[in-house]
Amino acid sequence: MSALSLKASSNYTPFPGPLVFVIMDGVGIGKRDESDGVFMAYTPVLDALFGEPLYTQLKAHGKAVGLPSDDDMGNSEVGHNALGAGRVFAQGAKLVNAAIASGALFAGAAWKKVVAQAAQGGAVHFIGLLSDGNVHSHITQLLELLDRCAEEGVPRVRVHPLLDGRDVGERSALSYLDILEKKLAEINAGGKDYRVASGGGRMVTTMDRYGANWSVVERGWKTHVLGEGRPFASAAQAVQTYYMEDTTSTDQYLDSFVIVENGKPVGTIEDGDAVVFFNFRGDRAIEISRAFDEDDFAEFDRKRRPSVFYAGLMQYDGDALIPKSYLVEPPAIDRTISQYLCAAGVTSFAISETQKFGHVTYFWNGNNSGYIDEQLETYVEIPSDKIMFNLRPWMKSAEITDSVLGAIASGKHRFIRLNYPNGDMVGHTGIVPAIRIAVESVDLGLSRLLPALAAAKGMLVVTADHGNADCMFTEKKGKRESMVAHTLNPVPFIVKDFSGANRLALANVPSAALSNVAATLLALLGYEKPEGYDPSLIAI
């Protein structure tokens, strides 16, 4: 029996329709009060599904998805990794922490090349998200890299912080900048030249993903590399100025800035320098990495491309080799559910809009780009709107639903998976009415899928990858503060069988989590779980 063989279940009866798997991105189980956008939204379909006999809740954060501790919020990337892999792999932050603690990061060829560039007169530049959100990055890792630069005698370092306000408090940038500036001052007291050079809010500077808006990356290139942007004496001055100019502005949308002295930028990126992108998560690191790495680059006019050594904290796309150099090896995720299904000849269909398309393909497939078997798989990407998501909180839920209805009607696909991004993308805005509409849009999509599945005698499975819309705000001393980050809440898991072909029951699985879903989907498709997979949530 080959490594990717699936064993058919002996007590399973096939059913005529498809198995449709819905991932409601960012829809967790909250407090069921007015702060809970899922509870407050009008969701008659979800309300009914939550009352189904095959309903349970899953862990979607912390150690259950491979993160260092249970204080760590889950995110879409590790969530989809766990959903598609069927077991837990050590993830970004945990891998990096281990590589720093063991010294493996500093013993690697990429780090040695960074230090060598400095020894030849180049500056070392660190670009990345400055927060302790632990979703894309962690400030502690940056501080440790800075300390190591100082220990190894790197004389000149420039930091280009991207402001968060999404995975942490929406106006928390000044606290992180204060920590960074104190570290730089401490190092500079020893005779070094370490400074902040440029930055900007993550949603407008550098951190685009999936090719949704390359102008964000172009703005980052102009800011970090060319030193083109609004000038300030310090990053704190830039943030304070933007706050005063727009009292509603939040960190993630603050404009870019350039630190200048005597009328000149203090930290443009020049020939002979080294550049490290210190995010460990891949989706919003790929495009800026391409801009540095690619000779034949056509997404925007770089004007000047310095000859530098560029490295990511990790390799963000293993198939496309982006970037070419990296400091820490990514998790090696093998034997994903899609690999097994393709080996068994099962036809599948995957769809989302741009913002989450990579999650139902790349991350679902174990951080691998492209098709596993183009003869058996169909991937559909619907272009996302290029505006703030609270302005169109329904996003592309209708278009996604339209396409799935067509896939169900075609009868060509045994397994259909889709991601509704609304709860996450709109949840990150912290705008209460928009979040409720976002969740209601997902419910409306489900209301259209259920009759189609009933007619086809198929099966529906619904879950989420992490929480977000389930907490819209917190209250401290009677004052509400928008909650724009993910939550630590569990997520729903529901099976709705329209076929009646099999007798289904919830299995007794302690500490059920996202990693149990893959074996569950295989069970519902008539296969036993592969060796090493976490057990199915459903007994047949």
Strand pairing report for 257-261 and 264-265: antiparallel
Residue pair 29/490 in contact by the 8 Å Cβ criterion? yes
* Number of neighbours of residue 386 by Cβ within 10 angstroms: 10
Say if strands 479-482 and 473-476 run parallel, antiparallel, or are unpaired. Answer: antiparallel
Calpha distance 213→77 (Å, rounded): 20
Token digits for 324?
């070419």
At residue 196, φ and ψ (nearest 5 deg) are -80, 135
Torsion of CA 126, 131, 135, 141, to 10 degrees: 50
Give me 428's structure tokens: 């990150």
Note the pLDDT tens digit of each residue in 305-356: 999 999 999 988 765 789 999 999 767 899 999 999 999 999 999 999 999 9
CA 463 remoteness from chain centre: 17
- Non-local (6+) Cβ contacts of 245 within 8 A are none
Stated as kind and residue range, the H or E segment containing 404 is: helix 397-410
Q: Running DSSP on this structure, what letter comes out for residue 428?
A: G
Hey, where are the domains in the chain? 21-91+332-539, 93-328
The three state secondary structure string of 132-143 is CCCCCCCHHHHH
The Cβ-side half-sphere exposure at 464, using a 13 Å CA radius, reads 34
**Arch. (CATH architecture) of 93-328:** 3-Layer(aba) Sandwich (3.40)
Distance of CA 517 to the CA centre of its chain: 19
Q: Which residues, at least 6 apart from 248, have a Cβ–Cβ distance to it below 8 Å?
A: none
pLDDT value at residue 318 = 64
In this prediction, residue 1 carries a pLDDT of 34
* Residues composing the chain: 540
In which region does residue 227 sit, left (phi positive, over 0), alpha (psi from -120 to 50) or beta (all else)? left
Strand partners, 350: 379, 417
Q: What is the pLDDT of residue 212?
A: 86
* Gap between the Cα atoms of 306 and 292, Å rounded: 8
Q: Which stretches of 103-234 are DSSP H helices? A: 104-107, 109-119, 139-151, 173-188, 214-221
Long-range contacts (CB closer than 8 Å, 24 or more residues apart) made by 401-406? 401/445, 401/448, 401/449, 403/351, 404/20, 404/349, 404/351, 404/449, 405/448, 405/449, 405/452
CA distance 295 to 310: 13
List the pLDDT tens digit at each of the 540 positions of the chain: 347 999 999 999 999 999 999 999 999 999 999 999 999 999 999 999 999 999 999 999 999 999 888 888 898 989 999 999 999 998 888 899 999 999 999 999 999 999 999 999 999 999 999 999 998 999 999 999 999 999 999 999 999 999 999 999 999 999 999 999 999 999 999 999 999 999 999 999 999 987 889 999 999 999 999 999 999 999 999 999 999 999 999 999 999 999 999 999 999 999 999 999 999 988 899 999 999 999 999 999 999 999 999 999 998 876 578 999 999 976 789 999 999 999 999 999 999 999 999 999 999 999 888 999 999 999 999 999 999 999 999 999 999 999 999 999 999 999 999 999 999 999 999 999 999 999 999 999 999 999 999 999 999 999 999 999 999 999 888 889 898 889 999 999 999 999 999 999 999 999 999 999 999 999 999 999 999 999 999 999
Q: Are strands 156-163 and 193-196 parallel, antiparallel or unpaired?
A: parallel
Q: What is the pLDDT of residues 260-277, one digit of tens each?
A: 999 999 999 999 999 999
Residue with tokens 């790929």: 286
Q: Residue 243 corresponds to which tokens in the numbers above?
A: 């706050």
Cα–Cα dist 66/239, whole Å: 34
Write the single-letter amino acid at 448: R
Contact yes or no for 489/467 (Cβ under 8 A): yes
Q: Which of 93, 151, 125, 121 is nearest to 277 (CA)?
A: 125
- Distance, CA of 392 to chain centre: 21
Give the H or E element holding residue 444: helix 432-456
Cβ-based burial of 155 (10 A; exposed 0-12, middle 13-18, buried ≥19): middle
User: Which are the catalytic amino acids?
Assistant: 76
Give CA angle at 496 (493, 501), nearest 5°: 130
Cβ atoms of 165 and 133 closer than 8 Å: no
Q: Are 279 and 162 in contact (CB under 8 A)?
A: no
Distance of CA 185 to the CA centre of its chain: 33
- Please tell me whether the overall predicted TM-score, pTM, comes out greater than 0.85 for this model: no
pLDDT of residue 319: 55
DSSP one-letter code for 62: G
Rg (alpha carbons) of the chain, rounded to whole number: 24
What pLDDT does 531 receive?
Answer: 96
- Secondary structure (DSSP) of 72-93: SPP-HHHHHHHHHHSS----HH
pLDDT score for 173: 98
Provide CATH code, domain 21-91+332-539: 3.40.720.10
Quote the pLDDT of residue 209.
Answer: 86
Contact predicate 71/487, CB 8 Å: no
